[in-house]
Structure 1
């Protein structure tokens, strides 16, 4: 009996040690660097807040909410054409989310190994990374040390309506990103208020500023995203135990009185709303499956042509109000059509509005990663953008697997 018990105990210990002995392979562009003692202290501070953010992300998706007993409940369609209602699903029922959680668990279990793939991206030369403003830079000695170029300088040089919107967002970045409420679904405040080093030190990207086909000038200047973990972020892990790491986790900020037009992409995407709205309909969003009966479809040589007609206020039934407590978690399946509309609603000012989210993709190393915008049915995107009531065309491409 003792031998049998000892064998079981040894097997349990062995299994535990195997879990704790994951093999991490960094992306090829993560190179070992030598830091002074003072610099290493700054890197450690950046890593510590990054680890907190990722740990909280894992805990939040695994904590039961809604009708789910073993994970968070996510909206997967704001309007289901078959039922006329919203459609939800337990987010951990998706295989890609199981893998994302598995890989985050390995990082949390063995942070020293994972840290070898962590790059503060000082003097990063793959593409420009920015800090929003001098005020943001002053939030942490890490951000001061990194000395990223400032987006306020970038937009001031750009000028025009795009530059004006960019300055409005970045000069008021702290105010916009501080209007958050993480009490309902997070055990630690993961906003800029709780993790100032992370939010001020991660590299921000003016994603659409130089894309003339991205809609209105105000949106092009009023949208930012940052990637903490993923192929282009600070934590760049290629594989864990031979499995491709698809987790891509960061954050987005969108200026009020803007509309992110209908768009789609192959990777699955997850958004968690952090913004506390001034009133219930301040920020709206929609996500619907590309093959919804609400849309028209035609097969093409490489995919599908999807026509969207939101005229006569049809679009309003597709959109839901998002906030940090109730309508807070969404999961977009492959090629799902989605949009963010921060225009209607209460008396909005830079101090009381904006849209701040925790953003992620779960399959960042397969298929096409590009975000593709839908276009007005009348032709290419113009300076008026693509309001949700206007007819749109989305040219979807088949994915490989």
Structure 2
């Protein structure tokens, strides 16, 4: 995975955590407001019940003693009783709405409102029973309400309602306390998630980028000091791995070029030339056999081969150039200074007119692919450097590119040697 993709993943993770944190804070603020309103509604409910009980007690203590003041006081207390009962019903409605809102906002913190809901249900049943009893006691005649009976019902059922209201207040307070604990825990979890994600990203960045780049810089300095050919392990498929692979290729190329320059010095023999090419380039390019063929008027001659022992197995070291045979094919490439590259010698042998040179080449090299590098200039001694491999495709991939870049160097150095011997 590329560094950009990994960085994007970590960035997306941090953004996700940030979004969760934002959602959490918004929900927390809303839930805190709702729970506060719920507690306030429960406290108002308890306060209104006590107010109703106080009015009932006041009416009992200050019952009208004469007929003239009776209707005046009854009307006054009746209005206050009605307002208190209506306030209770309104408080219950508000409490139900708060409870519904808080139930929907409790999911993110996994808070349970089951206890609150059960207490509220008990309260509603008790309130409905009280309201029904109160209305029956008052009667249908609003001009002459039976306040004594209503007062008795309030005294009978008021303490029970007060107790249920107190339970509701306790449940609301417990919910608030649990909400505060859950909010703190959730906030701490988000903070830890951010810290862990940052540590993981920092560790990954150090291991995937900083450490490999530091190691690459140290190895580059060693190469700059002359330790050519050093290689680094390229792990993964990211940009650092690509840079490491490019460095390895550069290091081996410099090493091969310098070694070839050192081995293909002026005055080296043809056998030394092919030995140097096989020894230095053999393993890297999977070259199994190297030879030099010279062009001499109407024939080709095998001058040298490496391994040198393979020369003893060649019965036909000279091939006459005839129309359509392999010698004529190679001669045309030498004269035109064109590379000869074959991936499959067996298939090539079927297409061209056979010759003893072709049979000798196939039998003694046991090669599947071959590369011929033209040597020399017009008016001078010319020939071809042959590189044979038991594998197919000498010019495939990065190694093939490097081999193509080394062939002019091989050709130039070998050409100098050929010209010196011609003189």
Same fold (TM over 0.5): no
Q: Give the greater-gyration-radius structure (CA).
A: 2
Q: 1 or 2 for the larger relative contact order (CA 8 Å, sep ≥6)?
A: 1
TM bracket (short chain): under 0.3
Q: Which has the higher helix share?
A: 2
Normalising by the residue count of structure 1, what TM-score does the alignment of the two structures yield?
Answer: 0.21
Q: Which has the higher strand share?
A: 1
